[in-house]
Amino acid sequence: MRRFLLITALALPLAAEHVHWLGDYKKAHQKALREGKMLLVLVAKRNSPKTAFLVKTVFMNRPYIAQMNKTAVAVILYSGSQSSYPVEMYYTTDFPTLFFVNPKQELFLSPPLFIQAITPKRLSIIFSNSLK
């Protein structure tokens, strides 16, 4: 019985529904094009408590996460990092900021969401209606 409880306790975090983040913009863009999905771009500051809190509370264990992963390729970009991405397209001074992008035309599907607007309720509405 103890063994079963231990295995169950260890497996629960693995079964948690979460956004499948990529860390490379070019790979995420290519994957979105290949799979016909929108591109979900989160621009954040590295080691930011706001970003960590957001990822834990908004992008994990929510009913809309499965639909989000089904319709979007998610990438997290860090401001000021060495990674290559079109900075001028995703320019922001408010971190984190979430962009919804059509990867074919590289056009925004909606205005970006800034930290205050990135909420479970907002994302639930967006992914129940799907921006695509």
> What are the pLDDT digits (tens) for 15-62?
568 999 999 999 999 999 999 999 999 999 999 999 999 999 999 999
30: left (phi > 0), else alpha (psi -120 to 50), else beta? alpha
Mean pLDDT of the region 77-88? 83
Structural domain harbouring 36 = 18-129
Q: Is residue 85 part of a domain?
A: yes
Place of tokens 């499965």: 66
Enumerate residues 6+ apart whose C-beta is below 8 A from 86.
25, 106
Give the pLDDT of residue 128.
86
What percentage of the chain reaches a pLDDT higher than 90? 73
Q: Is residue 99 part of a domain?
A: yes
Q: Total structural domains in the chain?
A: 1
**Any idea what the CATH number is for the domain that residue 101 is in?**
3.40.30.10
Mean pLDDT of the region 96-108? 96
Q: Is residue 8 part of a domain?
A: no
Asked if the model's pLDDT at residue 1 lies above 70, the reply is no
Position 87 confidence tier, pLDDT thresholds 50, 70, 90: confident
Q: Is residue 6 part of a domain?
A: no
Q: Is residue 4 part of a domain?
A: no
HSE, side-chain direction, 13 A CA sphere, residue 32 = 29
Q: What global pTM score does this model have?
A: 0.83
Helix (H, G, I), strand (E, B) or coil at 44: strand
Q: Is residue 2 part of a domain?
A: no
Give the pLDDT of residue 84.
81
Give the pLDDT of residue 67.
95
